[in-house]
Amino acid sequence: MHFLYRSHVMVCGGTGCTSSNSEKIRAELDTKLEEYGLQDEIKVFKTGCFGLCAEGPIMMVYPEGAMYTMVKVEDVDEIVREHLLYGRPVKRLLAGDKEHMDITKALDSVAFFNKQMRVALRNCGKINPECIDEYIAFDGYKALEKVLTQMKPQEVIDEVNKSGLRGRGGGGFPTGLKWSFAARQVGDQKYVCCNADEGDPGAFMDRSVLEGDPHSVIEAMTIAGYAIGSNQGYVYVRAEYPIAVKRLDIAIKQAREYGLLGKNILESGFDFDIEIRLGAGAFVCGEETALMTSIEGHRGEPRPRPPFPAVKGLWQKPTILNNVETYANIPVIFLKGADWFSSIGTEKSKGTKVFALGGKINNVGLVEVPMGTTLREIVYDIGGGIPKGKKFKAAQTGGPSGGCIPAEHLDTPIDYDSLIQLGSMMGSGGLIVMDEDTCMVDIAKFFLEFTVDESCGKCPPCRIGTKRMLEILTRITEGKGTEEDIEKLEVLAKNIKASALCGLGQTSPNPILSTLKYFKDEYIAHVRDKKCPAGVCKSMLHYEINPEKCKSCGICAKVCPASCIKGEKKVPYVIDTDKCLKCGACMQKCPFGAISKV
Amino acid sequence: MTVSKLDQIRKENMSKLKIRKNQEGRKILIGMGECGMKAGAREVMQGFLKEFNANSIDDVSVILTNCENKCDLEPIVHVFDKDGTKTSYVNVTPEMAKEIVDEHIIKGGIIKKYAVLQNVG
């Protein structure tokens, strides 16, 4: 049995790749390696997210650094025999420049990778997240070692302050400042909490960090505990993330076994431990006060602030709550220094930000870029643009609390403040791209449906107000809206913003306000002309057959589920619009392009 | 857990995982393919691996390549030093592999009696 292998094969074990069979691929790799007698030379590992989720399952072969994408179980035999036994990489599955002479350079020219900068995701796709030794080898727990052996708690806070790190969960509050508030409190018990209740539709960066690098969060929370004088941490994570929960649980157990959690960590006299609390997946539990109420065992509802958690948080004790991605940055700040960290990004937003790209974009996945990268670079260079060459219309950031950014602002450098100025917000980093076929009123309605569904019901502005807004939006999309409705929406939105109890309620009108700001003409077209310009809102469109193009083949009549298309040979077919369900099946099937939406 | 114990764990495991970082460092390229394999390239490669393990050499990547159309010279081994200098050895045997590791890789001297080509990178 060799101690050093000649090749490591890393297979993504994130949620995305796992759901496309990466576990079977790993098992098949082990089987085939043994079949070809390579098991003592090559080792297969499970790893975290590489980010290119659209092309999963992903496999990386070291030492070459050759990446295979969209691997199927049936491809494994070829990869093992050709690449690993004979030294002939399987070009058809290679990511990047398939024809490059040197496969170690195949990825160099791929914008998806070379425009990124991985800080929070540094270990995702590099290490086996279920092995603490691998984390330690890649400088894991070195920051904790430095903090516990060389720094005083105040120096730790100063360093975080100096780095300029701001909360990655949504609000963007300076992390060092938050820590200093809690450190200043005198008390017998303080708590360190981690918000892993990622609830924005389309965001999955926290899940990926927990799945790919759980020890970085444990290390950072321990550092935070030392800084504010706490010896107990809680990670609040949704039960809908089973892989993340399992890996975090394994990681906590390993850290305890190694004495990196528990009593007298690294002989410093400092004690710290972490427990996991599972949430049931309620959006409101991502709000800090509701999250803590839920940890206490009560129904997850927010409470007014002040008092802020730093003064009275979990069980009325001083508490800090940071997001997973925020924590993932902490060890790097101590390893490379606050000056290094603050040299990345813009004046007021330092470091990098992870975005979950979704919607109408080619490279759906997870990307990490320096703050200040423009939306255009993210969408077109890294994201690979919009499928089918469609036009970019807008991008939604910040999920249901955020807003949309239209095409004219594609060149805005993205940071906390520029997004606020545009009427959106960073949020946790979900970035949903919309193309020309998207109706902005329909999008606003989609987010409002989410908010109404997830409203906890404690305060009337959110419970009743969002419901009323949704009713108005529904009216508008059904072609029954009036211009007065638009005014009402605006007034309601402003009132809810001003009066809702928690951050989620206050920001719930944002999708409406920002679509009204940039796409008011679409609202007006809906209410005044009873037209949906994007052709999405069904009640306002009907299908028509162009008699000049129609060849009377009858295919449309055959596919029509409502049997509402009539015609005969040599006479153009006609749709009975009263009976039409507007399913669009006829338009898709017409071989002559004679049917269109009007 | 003590600081020195943690350091020791880090060093041991870093050595095992260097393979994932060492793309710019030293490497050996071994011609495999059908002809290489027929000429014993797998045994030669295993010879190298055995020596690397025996001497704890963790900073030399082992990369297999396809046939280079010089089939009667197989097994061919190209050794790349840190500065990119490439030295080619032909008709290598497992015994020669041990010599190449001892003399070239560990001591840094080219074995003139075997080397057929050298390109300074």
What is the tens place of the pLDDT at every residue in A36-68?
999 999 999 999 999 999 998 999 999 999 999
- pLDDT digit string, tens, across residues B46-100: 999 999 999 999 999 999 998 888 888 889 999 999 888 999 999 999 999 999 9
Buried b or exposed e, range A204-236, using 16+ CB within 10 angstroms:
bbbbbbbbbbbbbbbbbbbbbbbbbbbbbbbbb
Domain match, A137 and A60 both: no
Give mean pLDDT, residues A221-250: 97
Residue A94 lies in a domain: yes
In a domain, A119, yes or no: no
Residues of A in contact with B22 (CB under 8 A): 63
d(CA A40, CA A34): 9
A454 and A428 co-located in one domain: no
Residue A297 sits in a domain of what CATH number?
Answer: 3.40.50.11540
List b or e across A448-460, with b for residues whose CB sees 16 or more CB atoms inside 10 angstroms: bebbbebbbebbe
* Residue to substitute from A1, A136, A149, A266, interface B, most B β-carbons within 10 A: A136
Question: Which of B4, B8, B10 should we substitute to test contact with A (largest number of A Cβ atoms within 10 Å)?
Answer: B10
Parallel, antiparallel, or unpaired for β A543-545 and A430-435? unpaired
**Identity of residue A30:** D
Classify burial at B43, counting beta carbons within 10 Å of its beta carbon; exposed 0-12, middle 13-18, buried 19 or more: middle
The Cα angle at residue A136 between residues A130 and A139, in degrees rounded to 5: 130
How many structural domains is chain A composed of? 5
Interval A184-209 mean pLDDT:
94
- The secondary structure element, H or E, covering residue A370 is strand A365-370
Best of B1, B32, B101 to substitute, by most chain A Cβ atoms within 10 angstroms, is B1
Average pLDDT value for chain A: 94
Q: Is residue A28 located within the same domain as residue A105?
A: yes
Same domain, A96 and A138: no
> Which residue is listed with tokens 């990004």?
A345
Interface touch A266/B3, C-beta < 8 Å:
yes
Element containing residue A203 per DSSP (H, E): none
The enclosing domain of A521 has a CATH number of 1.20.1440.230
> How many interchain CB pairs under 8 A, A with B?
97
User: Distance between CA B53 and CA B55 in Å, rounded?
Assistant: 5
Residues 116..155 of A with a Cβ closer than 8 Å to B: which? 126-127, 133-134, 136-142, 145, 149
This complex has an ipTM of 0.94
The residue out of A528, A561, A581 marking a domain boundary is A528
Cβ <8 Å between B64 and A137:
no
Residues from chain A contacting residue B53 (CB–CB below 8 Å): 2-4
Provide the shortest C-alpha distance from residue A7 to chain B (in Å): 7
Query: Pick from A468, A503, A528: which residue ends a domain?
Result: A528
Q: Quick count: other Cβ atoms within 10 Å of Cβ A480? A: 13
- Residue A347: inside a domain: no
- Decide if pLDDT at A132 tops 80: yes
Interface of A with B in 91-110 (CB under 8 A): 104
CB-closest option in B1, B13, B63 to A266 = B1
The whole domain housing A583 covers: 542-597
- Placement of tokens 């390229």 in the chain: B29
Among residues A221, A278, A272, A215, the alpha carbon closest in space to that of A247 is found at A215
Say how many C-beta atoms besides its own lie within 10 A of residue A296's C-beta. Answer: 12
Q: Determine the average pLDDT of the residues in A107-130.
A: 91
pLDDT at A311 over 70: yes
Strands (E), A154-254: 191-196, 232-238
Q: Chain B within 8 Å of A458 (Cβ-Cβ)? A: no
Are A249 and A286 members of one domain?
A: yes
Percentage helix, strand, coil, to 5, in chain A?
45, 15, 40
**Domain with A404 in it: what CATH number?**
3.10.20.600
pLDDT band at A143 (very low <50, low <70, confident <90, very high): very high
**Pairing state between β A571-575 and A42-47:** unpaired
Q: Would the CB atoms of A6 and B62 count as touching at under 8 Å?
A: yes
Residue in the structure block whose two tokens are 């060799």: A2
Residues A277 and A139 in one domain: yes
How far from A572 is each of A160, A545, A585, B7, B15, CA to CA, in Å? 72, 8, 18, 81, 76
Do A4 and B10 lie within an 8 Å CB cutoff? no
The pLDDT score that the predictor gives to residue A52 is: 92
Contacts of B20 in chain A (CB under 8 A): 8, 10, 62-63, 126
pLDDT number for residue A243: 96
- pLDDT of residue B120 exceeding 80, the answer is no
Boundary of a domain, candidates A528, A550, A577:
A528
Q: What is the pLDDT of residues A267-285, one digit of tens each?
A: 999 999 999 999 998 999 9
Contacts of A80 in chain B (CB under 8 A): none
How far apart are the CA of B95 and the nearest CA of chain A, in angstroms? 19
Verify that A205 and A317 share a domain, yes or no: yes
Short-list A455, A454, A399, CA closest to A424: A399
Q: At what angle do helices A510-527 and A466-477 cross, to 10 degrees?
A: 30
Kindly state whether residue A346 falls inside one of the protein's structural domains. Answer: no
Which of A27, A115, A125 lies closest to A68 in space, CA to CA?
Answer: A125
A121 domain-assigned:
no
Percent of chain A at pLDDT > 70 equals: 100
Judge if A159 and A187 occupy the same domain. Answer: yes
Contact at CB, B66 and A87, closer than 8 angstroms: yes
| Those residues with Cβ within 8 angstroms of residue A553's Cβ, 6 or more apart along the chain or in another chain | A591, A592
User: What is the reported pLDDT for A1?
Assistant: 43
Per-residue pLDDT at B23: 67
Phi, psi dihedrals of residue A422, rounded to the nearest 5°:
-80, 0
The answer to whether residues A51 and A125 touch, using CB atoms and an 8 Å cutoff, is: yes
B1/A133 Cβ within 8 A: no
What is the CB-side half-sphere exposure of residue A485 using CA atoms within 13 A? Answer: 24
B58 and A4 in contact by Cβ < 8 A? yes
Quick one: A141 and A224 in the same domain?
A: yes
Tens digit of pLDDT for each residue in A531-552?
999 989 988 888 989 999 999 9
**A101 domain-assigned:** yes
Q: Best of A1, A2, A4, A108 to disrupt the B interface by mutation (most B CBs within 10 Å)?
A: A4
Mean pLDDT calculated for residue range A426-447: 94
Residue of chain A whose alpha carbon sits nearest to that of B34: A86
**The model's pTM:** 0.92
Cβ of B10 within 8 Å of Cβ of A142? The answer is yes
As a residue count, chain A comes to 598
